[in-house]
């Protein structure tokens, strides 16, 4: 090989890089892979602006660019996605705290049950904690419902 051959960029023999995206069997996809495995790759040339547009449109639909293009060709049915509900971050934080309290109570009950000594739990204290959690949830729900009613006006 000459020095000129080493400095020139090498072109790939093929753009086929193996299987492209597809639904593989996994815990999050218990139904298994699609009937037709997506094993072919298509290379497409476009301008930088066209590529940006494709990516923006796919991101807006919360799908991959490949799914967007297959949908445009009529190869797949566009999945109906539910709109992500807008939730107050303070509500999420409050519910997280309540959930943490509930998990601590459940852990204490399960530990006592596993040890075979349910007597070590103070039933009144446990009941008081559960009532407190119920009151927190009720107050949170009432507050959130009131805020929604105020914003609707």
49-102 pLDDT per residue, tens: 999 999 999 998 888 888 888 888 877 665 666 666 777 788 888 888 888 888
pTM above 0.95?
Answer: no
CA distance 95 to 90: 9
> 134 and 97 share a domain?
yes
36 in a domain, yes or no?
yes
Instruction: Indicate the helix (H) or strand (E) that contains 68.
Output: helix 65-72
Whole-number pLDDT of residue 127: 80
CA distance 19 to 140: 49
Give per-residue pLDDT as tens, 2-16: 655 556 656 655 555
The residue from 72, 106, 136 where one domain ends is 72
Query: Domain residues for 95?
Result: 89-152
> 93 and 148 share a domain?
yes
Split into its structural domains, the chain has a count of 2
110 in a domain, yes or no?
yes
Q: Who contacts 94 (Cβ-Cβ below 8 Å, separation ≥6)?
A: 136, 140
Q: Who contacts 33 (Cβ-Cβ below 8 Å, separation ≥6)?
A: 22, 23, 24, 25
Using pLDDT thresholds of 50, 70 and 90, give the confidence band for residue 47: very high
């Amino acid at each position: 090989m000459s020095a000129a051959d080493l400095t020139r960029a090498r072109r790939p023999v093929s753009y086929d890089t193996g299987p492209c995206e597809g639904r593989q069997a996994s815990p999050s996809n218990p139904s298994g892979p699609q009937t037709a495995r997506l094993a072919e790759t298509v290379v497409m040339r476009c301008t930088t602006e066209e590529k940006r547009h494709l990516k923006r449109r796919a991101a807006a639909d919360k799908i991959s660019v490949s799914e967007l293009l297959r949908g445009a060709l009529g190869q797949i049915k566009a999945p109906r996605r539910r709109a992500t509900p807008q939730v107050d971050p303070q509500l999420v934080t409050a519910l997280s705290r309540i959930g943490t309290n509930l998990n601590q109570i459940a852990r204490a009950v399960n530990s006592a049950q596993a040890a075979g000594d349910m007597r070590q739990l103070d039933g009144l204290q446990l009941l008081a904690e559960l009532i407190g959690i119920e009151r927190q949830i009720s107050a949170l729900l009432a507050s959130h419902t009131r805020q929604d009613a105020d914003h609707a006006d």
